[in-house]
Structure formats: C-alpha cells, structure tokens
Amino acid sequence: MLILHQYHMSPYNEKVQRMLNFKDIPFEEKYWLLADRKKVTAFNATGKLPALEHDGRIIGDSTDVAHYIEKTFPERPLIPGEPRLRGQVHVLEDWADESLYFYEMHLRFTTPGNRERNIPRMVENESAFLRWLLPRVIPGGIQKITASQGIGRKSTEQLMVDVERHVQAIDGLLDGSDWLVGDRLTLADLAVYAMFQALRDADMALTLLQSHPAVTAWMARIEETTSQRASP
C-alpha cells in the first residue's frame, strides 16, 4: 500500500492525490502537523511534503513523486512519451509549482479576510498554543518568503493583474481544446489545477476564476475525471 504523507492545505497534495485517483491506485493518507517539521526532515531528506512511501522507499517533492508514480504505474499515462508534448507538460508543471504557488500562498495567507479564514483551517489540528500563535506569525513569515521571491513586494492590486494574465494564458491554451497539452489529461492539467484550486480560497482570485467559463469548465472536467478514490 502506498502512503501519501502531507501537510494540511498544500496544493501539492492535490496534484498527487488526483494523479493516484486517475490511475486507480489505492493509497493511505498521513497528515503531519506543522509542529513536526523537524521530524519531517528526519523522515524525508528533502524536508518536503508531500512525500510518497512505497515498498520501503520515501520519495520527496511532488514532482519526483509524480515521475515515480508514472514510472512505477504506467497504466493511464499522465506524462506523454512524445518529446514535444512531454516538454510542454514539464514547462507547465514547473511554472505552476514554482510561480503560481507563490501567488496562491501570498493571497491565501497574507491578505486581509483571506488569512483570517484560511490559517485557522490550516492549523486546526495543532496544539492549543500553536493554534493561538501561528495565525499571528504565519502571515509575516510568508510575506518574507514572497518578498524575497518578488511578488510579495507588489500591491494586492498588481498581484491580481498578474493573476489575471496567468488565468488568461490558461484560457488561451484551452481555446479549442479540453486539456492543456494534447488531447487528454496530463500532469500539466493537474499541476495548474492544484494551484487554481488553492487560489479559490482567496476571494478576489475566486471571483476572477469564475469570470472565465472555459477555465471553470476545465476545472470541472478535472474534478469529474480524478475525484474517485480507488478501493484498497
């Protein structure tokens, strides 16, 4: 049995879970607390979650997990074999993981209204002390991360201009197509979907996404195709 180790509310969980669901692979879930971060590093040398435990191996980082799943369970492939399509999937997944991620994290956990709603959900299983402390320190910590990356130095208004460009880009890729790459679901769809799904937790981004019917329909197709969990 595969075990997927996760933090609560990580979009990377969503990407891997939906990949496993699509491939009809049973798996168990283990959630770690933020208080366990040192234990996570001892468990997984990358210090990252999600991590996949399978046959005595621990695979960390969601992209490495995705490629491991694809190689180990090749049925219903999500990474094309054709080089051009495979390259497109790689670029879109990396863009989602390394660019969109900072937008969703900043908007969900640092902007007024969104942070007050989302952080308590993220820490609801922590100790009473951490449930009190973390909502007070997480916004500043994330602000430092996104400021060093760049987007945290922009106003919320400018960030939404950026997000609009990103959503329009996906809208354009869906023009005349049900999927982002080729004629079937790929890892690119799951990676971008995971970040857009996280963006739905930020009111202003949810409104923006709802204003793009093609994107909304694409997200619904992914949900319909990848929500069914395999039986153990």
231 or 168, which is more confident? Answer: 168
Q: In a 10 Å sphere around its CB, with 0-12 CB exposed, 13-18 middle and 19+ buried, how is residue 93 labelled?
A: buried
* pLDDT score, position 231: 75
Indicate the pTM of the whole model. 0.96
User: Which residues have a Cβ under 8 Å from the Cβ of 164 and sit 6 or more positions away?
Assistant: 208
What domains does the chain contain, in order, with CATH numbers? Answer: 2-72 (3.40.30.10), 83-226 (1.20.1050.10)
The 10s digit of each residue's pLDDT in 18-68 is: 999 999 999 999 999 999 988 998 998 888 999 999 999 999 999 999 999
- Give one word for 66, left, alpha or beta, with left for phi > 0 and alpha for psi -120 to 50: alpha
CB 170 within 8 Å of CB 164: no
pLDDT confidence tier of residue 70, bands split at 50, 70 and 90? very high
- pLDDT digit string, tens, across residues 88-105: 999 999 999 999 999 999
In the prediction, which pLDDT does 45 show? 86
pLDDT given for residue 46 in this prediction: 87
60, β-bridge pairs: 51
Q: How confident is the model at residue 133 (pLDDT cuts 50, 70, 90)?
A: very high
For every residue of 15-36, DSSP letters joined together read HHHHHHHHTT--EEEEEEPGGG
Q: Measure the CA–CA gap between 17 and 29, rounded to whole angstroms.
A: 9
For residue 121, give both structure tokens.
């959900």
Query: Tell me: the pLDDT tens digits for 161-211?
Result: 999 999 999 999 999 999 999 999 999 999 999 999 999 999 999 999 999
